[in-house]
Structure 1
Amino acid sequence: MGSKHFQDFVAALLFCLLLAARCTYAEVSCSVVHAKLASCKGYVTAKDDTPPTGCCHGLNTLKSMAASVEDRRAICSCLQTLLTPGDEVDDQRVADLPVTCGVTFAISFNRSFDCNSIGTK
């Protein structure tokens, strides 16, 4: 009888571990993306000549958070919400931000980029 309880316990434990692992792959939220890039505003609106250290650090953090296709798509979609038409953002500065910060990023910083195309090639 004790063996049966142990087997049930192990099965329940494995089930919980599988659920926990699944939960760790949640998409990145826009509030996190916006917070990580908030210090970039002065640069992308051409008020600052160079991006501040915090901006590049935030971009690097986002890169490390973009582990899955879903994460990259979520980050891309959040970037699109920051790049709304009619704002003061300099599109070229936005597009060049990863290079300017020295961060290789697998997401295009472009208003017209189709985020759903990430991971389809």
Structure 2
Amino acid sequence: MGPDRNAHIRNFGIVLLLAVAVWLVPGGGTGANTIRNIFSVLFLGGMFFFGYRLYMEHRDTILGLEERQRGLLYGASALALFALIATSRLWNELALLGGMLWLLMLGAAGWAIYSVWRSYRTY
């Protein structure tokens, strides 16, 4: 585990102390929401950057696909993005039907991306 065996216990204690501070300090919930929003913006920015890098590295391959396959790939990516953006609304407001619709959208997007990949790998 390394030279400091108590590092995990120390780190857990720090996280626990911060959680108790947010719980007990007046206005801690607002501060926690602010930090959560900052982290979500950073995460989304990282995901967009990852998508951009992925596209730039495989641009020749993507542009070499047939028009139908490329359209299917872009449509499936848009459907998956829409499903991920609408996750909370689908699960909270529509309950069981929304959850089934969410799974259906992600499954259809995954199947479409897999079919494009499969047709790309065969001649």
TM-score relative to the length of structure 1? 0.30
TM-score relative to the length of structure 2? 0.29
Q: Which structure's relative contact order is higher, taking Cα pairs within 8 Å and 6+ residues apart?
A: 1
Write 1 or 2 for the structure with the bigger share of helix. Answer: 2
Q: Radius of gyration: which is bigger? A: 2
